[in-house]
Structure 1
Amino acid sequence: MMSDADMAELKGLEGAAFDKAFAEMMIEHHNGAVAMAEEERRDGRNAEAKRMADDIVESQSAEVEQLQGVLDRL
């Protein structure tokens, strides 16, 4: 999750600086979701939750790739 300090930092930025900071924060956020979902896939007991974890790993990993592409272009 983004902290209040993270949000305050974003409020003070514009243009490419905002885009860069936002993408970096979102990558960190999505990587956290992937880590949690991978733990559920590995250690979870509920089949439905494990399927949801599979979806989260797939979708959030794809978004990280897209955000990394944004950073690469900045």
Structure 2
Amino acid sequence: MLDRWGVSEMMSHTGHQMDGMVSASGLKDLDEASGAEFDRLFLQYMIAHHEGAIAMAQDPLVNGDDAELNALLKAIVTAQTAEIDQMNKMLQQLQ
């Protein structure tokens, strides 16, 4: 699809972390956690990850005139929002 938009290659994200990506220390915390603490951390990180995906899908630089892309982005926002709601409910039950 990138060639349809006149883009030859993906942007490099080297040197900085994308929104919602778990840091190395976060992965270490997950690795060391167990039980309810693992569940809580996992849900918190997944919520942040989904929020990052929603932000990317809503980015005005991404939302162009391509109907197929816009339909996909809307589906991503809808699905990930529903998943965030479900994960927040699960997180509340753990606390």
Normalized against structure 1, the TM-score is what?
0.89
Question: Cα RMSD between the aligned structures?
Answer: 1.8
In 2: Cα distance, 1:72 partner to 1:15 partner? 15
In 2: Cα distance, 1:41 partner to 1:68 partner? 29
Q: How many residues align?
A: 74
Name the structure 1 match of 2:29. 9
Relative CO higher for 1 or 2, CA cutoff 8 Å, sep ≥ 6?
A: 1
Uncovered stretches (5+) of structure 2, i.e. residues with no partner: 1-20
Aligned sequence identity (%): 38
**Larger relative helix fraction:** 1
Consecutive aligned runs of 4 or more in structure 1 exceeding 4 Å deviation: none
Give 2:35's aligned amino acid. Answer: G
Question: After the TM superposition, which of the residue ranges 44-53 and 62-71 deviates more from structure 2?
Answer: 44-53
User: If you compute each CA radius of gyration, which structure gives the higher value, 1 or 2?
Assistant: 2
In 2: Cα distance, 1:65 partner to 1:44 partner? 28
Normalized against structure 2, the TM-score is what?
0.71
